[in-house]
Amino acid sequence: MLLAREFGWSLDEMRQLTPSELTAVLHELQRQVAQEQYNEQYNRWAFLAAVITNGFNILASVFVAAFGGKKRKPKLVTPEDFMNKKAKQMLQQLLGQEQKDWSSHIEEARAKGLAGPW
């Protein structure tokens, strides 16, 4: 029924699929559903948690500075900090993608004198 709902196929059309085609279609569907769930988690909830946490950290640093405390730059968090590491690794394996290493590009930008969040 999942195939009929997702693709609008009839039962006869689904019966015409070979087992290898059916396996490939189901694997692709699982991959897409996992990616959509991860994107929703990352874009909506993890982003919201990061914004709230950063807001509280900044507000706390303002109060500390206002009452004569040592003024420090608060440590900011990113949405990745709120994502489950195992779920993230599972999704990367499912997608067949490895984490890209950007360190060489960052070092090149530093050598050119460019400023950034690093």
Q: For residue 1, give both structure tokens.
A: 């029924």
Q: In terms of pTM, does the model score above 0.85?
A: no
CB-based contact 39:47 (threshold 8 Å): no
CA distance 42 to 47: 6
User: Phi and psi of 79, rounded to 5°?
Assistant: -60, -30
How does pLDDT run along the chain (118 residues), one tens digit per residue?
666 777 777 878 777 878 887 788 777 787 788 778 877 877 888 888 889 999 998 888 888 888 887 777 878 888 888 877 877 777 777 766 545 566 776 777 777 776 655 4
